[in-house]
Structure 1
Amino acid sequence: MSPSTDSEEDSKSSPPPSRPAVIPVASHDQTMKLPTRWSHEYRHPSLSISENGRELSFQGAGCNGDRDAAAARSVQSIPPACGVYYYEVEIHSKGQKAHIGVGFAGHKIQLSRLPGWEPMSWGYHGDDGCSFAAERNGTPYGPTFGLGDVIGCGIDFSTNRAFFTKNGTSLGSVFENVGNGVDIYPAVGLQHLGESVKVNFGHEHFRFDIDYYVQQQRQRTWTTLMSRPLDPSLFCASGASDKTRLEVPEEQSKQTMDKLVLSYLAHHGYEKTARAFQKQSRNVVEHNHFSPLVDDDIEMDDVPGPSTSSLSTSILEDIESRTRILNSVLSGDIDSALTETEEYYPGALEAEEGLMFVKLRCRKFVELVLESAELEKQMKAVFIKDEVSAPEMDGFEEVGMGMDVDDDMFSGSPAINRSNGTVGAGPEIPSRPPSPRALSKGQYEAALNSALAYGQTLDKDFKTTRNSEIKHIFTRTFAILAVSDPLSAGGAIAEVAGHDARIQLASELNQAILRSEGRPAYPSLEMMYRQTAVCLLQLGFARVGAAAFANMQKEFLDA
């Protein structure tokens, strides 16, 4: 989750973490692989496949009647979790009417039959324009097609219906229960010598605007979801009676949702937004008023204090101290972050064998190295400037220019006071200020020595640790010494040195602080969001096609 800040002027909000993938990586048996080529194994011997696996040509003797054909299917099946699948076939035929069938087929098909002639196969045929679904006599569907035509074939898993296009124009939906409960593959069939097809599995731009079609389906699915009335009984305790569930008013559920939002704002430190939200929701009641109606699993314990429906003084103080600490991390002031964390939340630094303490100290080392790298660049810039410009007058020469100066000022003997004849120390000779080159070099050397000394201290303090995670952190941190400019190095070094690493560290520190206070590391609203996203993913893999169109990140975050 990566919410925006309250405003450009509000610097008191804690940094949310950089947005992670809310949908986990699918397991090996759930990987969403798409068809990319025709199968050598599942093809008729009369069909030859091009080297790239995308072209099929009929090379054998011609087939006669509706019992003879040469068919092939793709290597990979179509994953229902994709929501809508679409591919296109360009027809190469001697005649205007091609004896070619385009469509889908199950895992095992008869390779001597066109798609649609056999069970578990569906096809659209070019010679008569009919659609076939496991039948000998087809149903009139669209125009005939042949040489030069591009036939598109798609399936919408939200309805389990197929659709075809011709030269970029939709011909409408057809068939019922296509691929319902079975794996299906793109499939084509040819009958005569000289016929060939070239498939586009998404390698090139489609003739048909499939993106617009998918957007329509997504909007239709989302509209259906949003129009579904909320069931207030869902916010009841699991042990509540049926009567209690029926009596829960809709306003009660709204108050629960308001609590979810308020706890999220408090969790991430959005004080101004939280105050505005609280003012707008004056009708939110105290936690104790409706706690019997709220399931323990969704109670909002994200915020300290007796009330989770309003911002108490303790909550505001907690937000202020946490955000001040985290903003110190964001600005690179690690010393301040360490000092204040030790003062207000010492448990956060002690947990997990002091892991957060180690991370903060390693970040301080990174900041010191970055400072020395920046000074080195400035020093080199001064050197370059000295080489390309005229020699500059040093500070001493500038003082003397255009001045009427006594000779005594530059003599090596004490000066005589002409008013009384006494010997004095003489006028003070202006000190010669250091040149910009000397200043830059001195500052760089001091910063570099400071970084190296701190690194040696780190190594001394933690080199005997047996904690594998701490060892890994050290390895990644000290790798920045291998390059002169860590920020431009790229790769793993840039990940350690860049500003995104500060954001990530601030997020982890925020979670460590909350855990040390006995509060969840993530707000309840965020956990509900993540759980819903995972459920949608699993529904997609479970062949609930509409789940692919309920895109949590697109609807709630990207917008």
Structure 2
Amino acid sequence: MSRQGTIPVTVPRNVSSSTRNIEHIIPARSFTTRVATSPVRHPRVIRANIDQPCVPAPSTSPPTPRTRPSSSSAVRAPSSHRPTQPPAPPSSPVSFPVPSYLSHSSLRHLLQTDVSPILTARRRHYSPSTDSDDESNASPPPREVDSAPSLDHPLQLPTRWDPETCHHHLSISDNGRELTFQSTSATGSESNAAAARTVQPIPPACGIYYYEVKIHSKGQKARKPHIFRRFAGPDVRSSRLPGWEPNSWGYHGDDGCSFATEKKGTPYGPTFGLDDVIGCGIDFTTHRAFYTRNGVLLGPVFENVGKGIDLYPSVGLQHTGESVRVNFGHEPFKFDIADHVAQQRNAIWNSIINSPLNPSIFSGGDVSGPLTNISDEQTKLTINKLVLSYLAHHGYVRTARTFQKQIHDTVKPISEVPASGDVEMADASSSLSKAPLEFDFEKDIAVRTRIVDSVLSGDIDTALSETERYHPSVLEAEQSLMLAKLRCRKFVEMILESAEMKRKMTGSAVGSSGSFIDDTTLEGDGMDMDVDDEIPSMNGTTNGSDMSESPTRRPSTSSPKAQYQLALQSAIQYGQALDRDYRKDERPEVRSIFKKSFSVLAFYDPLEAGGITAEVAGHDARIELANELNQAILKSQGRPTRPTLETVYRHTSVSIHYLGLTGIGSAAFADMQKEFLDG
């Protein structure tokens, strides 16, 4: 995601030399995301503008002179006005996990404190192998539900002060957390104000963002520290105190006033000084800031903070020796921000739940008009239809039948439902009681789920024969692509059966080798995948033997070794037939399926092989194929391949995701996965 320009934040203000020193600032941001790609390096070239970059903290080695750009050939020597300080031990930016209070954001999987080249959205699989009411003839729901589309770029959180934009009177520690005012020429006047902001702006996807600053030193001459905390835009000057310029909002420690783009403050909270911990938060659901002092909430302040601009945490200082240390989540906060965020999240969710629905959404009409309430009965009718269609789609026959009976006994006819607006639902109740589970439809569900369950259990013969009998067009569609997938799966199942036999055989003191296909087993059989034995045509439904006999049915009187050899021989012959039938098929998808399927031959135990082979041999591959076959059958009948309820969920989830990325703070707390799926 490209980053737009930012606006520095600073607001002029009349301050006496004895009362103004440190200021807290927050710059603004346009709703875009910037990801840091390289660490800060020293020495660096100073840009030729009025806000010179800050100098590094004193070190044990002499400072290296830094040159100006081509606009000036002068070389700036280390300032003679800076006080002598004992050398500080070298340190580096410390990584830390994303603060726990941000777990309430629906976009939490995108937030991070360190930069990774690629961020994959975390997903959870929702693929139960059985029906919720323990039915054996239920097809599986989708393999996974995406709460949001994955992105290539993470949302970087503020982690340190930015040496490239801070004022030259300020020194930043090597770990990027401490700020110190260093200039003996500074008198505490307005002209000596100095501010710094973070490298990264605050992502609105946080919903609520919070950080704290502890005051370490109040300065050499000030009776009270002049420390100013603020939020500021990217273009706010670092030579101005927080709240004095457009797109700058600040809370000043010398008088306790708040400043919002003005030089005359408004009384807000108590003054603060040495050893105080001042917290600063921004609530993107209301676009208001809030502050805390030593763990106590002072309340909301300002309006329209950060709307349409990048917003940066910022601090301003004004007296020599003033020093602060920031906590972006490196350590526990003084204020219980997690509880504060949880309360706001619950309030937002309750607001969403209680929002009136537009009746036009049920009739497909214009939804741009004013919202009016609809009755509970109308809402229940629609929800019942969604649930019933979901149960029917995934083959939960008994559950659907019971649910249909329940709603048929309790739902009122549509004529008895109070109307509210132009709701075209005249056939809603009748559709609930008739369409979904009429006899033919129920029979169709039974057939479809029987086919799908055959794939889930590894009985591909039954799946093929039933599909050919009831839904032959599925095997013919897309140049018989589904047929190829089912035949390859049958080959995998036959190899897995052989491997299981050999595993049991070796447990009975029968010799074995590293691969379940060894020289002893194949000796004299003349079986090779490159040898075209004369085998009857598979016709897409057999494996070289009578289709009525599953590969799992072996004569019980045979020895384990004989059973194993027979199973392996059948598998090899079936593989040879596959190779012959599809040798000239150059479709990339078909070639990929064959390559993965035949990889199981190389391992004694494909399930333990790892990588692609284990994926092909595992149960998840059965679930995926079963779901594909289920959707292919539905498509052949001209019906949706996904239930409406699932489509509504996916569309809503994606909409919320993009609303959150575009700065709609409330979207960060509309966490559908946590509310509906995680439980």
Contact map agreement 1:39 1:72 (CA 8 A) in 2: yes
1:16 Cα deviation from its structure 2 partner = 0.8
Q: 1:370 and 1:50 mapped to 2: Cα distance?
A: 61
In structure 2, the residue matched to 1:68 is 192
Q: Which amino acid aligns with 2:159?
A: T
In structure 1, the residue matched to 2:160 is 37
Q: 2:330 and 2:599 mapped to 1: Cα distance?
A: 40
In structure 2, the residue matched to 1:324 is 450
In structure 1, the residue matched to 2:296 is 169
In structure 1, the residue matched to 2:306 is 179
Indicate which of 251, 275, 278 corresponds to 2:404: 278
In structure 2, the residue matched to 1:466 is 586
Q: Which amino acid aligns with 2:625?
A: L
Q: Which amino acid aligns with 1:56?
A: L
Deviates more, 1:331-340 or 1:39-48: 39-48
In structure 2, the residue matched to 1:501 is 621
Indicate which of 381, 393, 417 corresponds to 1:267: 393
1:12 and 2:141 are equivalent in the alignment: no
Root-mean-square deviation (CA, aligned residues, Å) is 3.7
TM-score using structure 1 length: 0.77
Structure 1 gaps, min length 5: 387-437
In structure 2, the residue matched to 1:525 is 645
Q: Which amino acid aligns with 1:506?
A: A
Seen in structure 2, the aligned counterparts of structure 1 residues 498 and 130 have a Cα distance that, compared at 3 Å, is farther
1:83 Cα deviation from its structure 2 partner = 1.5
1:234 and 2:361 are equivalent in the alignment: yes
Seen in structure 2, the aligned counterparts of structure 1 residues 310 and 515 have a Cα distance that, compared at 3 Å, is closer
Contact map agreement 1:107 1:183 (CA 8 A) in 2: yes
SS in 2 for 1:274: helix
1:250 Cα deviation from its structure 2 partner = 6.4
Contact map agreement 1:286 1:308 (CA 8 A) in 2: no
1:3 Cα deviation from its structure 2 partner = 8.1
The structure with the largest alpha-carbon Rg is 1
Q: 1:286 and 1:312 mapped to 2: Cα distance?
A: 19
Q: 1:246 and 1:228 mapped to 2: Cα distance?
A: 10
Q: 1:211 and 1:177 mapped to 2: Cα distance?
A: 23
Q: Which amino acid aligns with 1:21?
A: D
- Give runs of aligned pairs for residues 74-85 of structure 1, distance below 5 A: 74-85=198-209
1:199 and 2:326 are equivalent in the alignment: yes
In structure 2, the residue matched to 1:134 is 261
Q: 1:555 and 1:256 mapped to 2: Cα distance?
A: 20
Contact map agreement 1:62 1:191 (CA 8 A) in 2: no
SS in 1 for 2:404: helix
Q: Which amino acid aligns with 2:343?
A: Q
Q: 1:549 and 1:42 mapped to 2: Cα distance?
A: 33
Contact map agreement 2:189 2:318 (CA 8 A) in 1: no
1:389-408 CA-partner distances (Å, limit 9, x unpaired): xxxxxxxxxxxxxxxxxxxx
1:2-24 CA-partner distances (Å, limit 9, x unpaired): 48765453222211122231322
Q: Which amino acid aligns with 2:629?
A: L
In structure 1, the residue matched to 2:148 is 23
Indicate which of 241, 245, 251 corresponds to 1:118: 245
1:80 Cα deviation from its structure 2 partner = 1.8
Q: Which amino acid aligns with 1:525?
A: L
1:501 Cα deviation from its structure 2 partner = 2.1
SS in 2 for 1:521: coil
1:268 Cα deviation from its structure 2 partner = 0.8
Contact map agreement 2:349 2:669 (CA 8 A) in 1: yes
SS in 1 for 2:326: strand
Structure 2 gaps, min length 5: 1-124, 513-557
Q: 1:224 and 1:313 mapped to 2: Cα distance?
A: 43
Deviates more, 1:108-117 or 1:485-494: 485-494
SS in 2 for 1:273: helix
Q: 1:134 and 1:306 mapped to 2: Cα distance?
A: 59
1:62-91 CA-partner distances (Å, limit 9, x unpaired): 632234232222222222233122223344
TM-score using structure 2 length: 0.65
Contact map agreement 2:358 2:374 (CA 8 A) in 1: no
**Percent identity, aligned pairs only?**
57
- Give runs of aligned pairs for residues 48-63 of structure 1, distance below 5 A: 48-61=171-184, 63=186
More helix by share: 1
Q: 1:149 and 1:221 mapped to 2: Cα distance?
A: 32
Seen in structure 2, the aligned counterparts of structure 1 residues 137 and 490 have a Cα distance that, compared at 3 Å, is farther
Q: 1:535 and 1:86 mapped to 2: Cα distance?
A: 26
Q: 1:318 and 1:365 mapped to 2: Cα distance?
A: 28
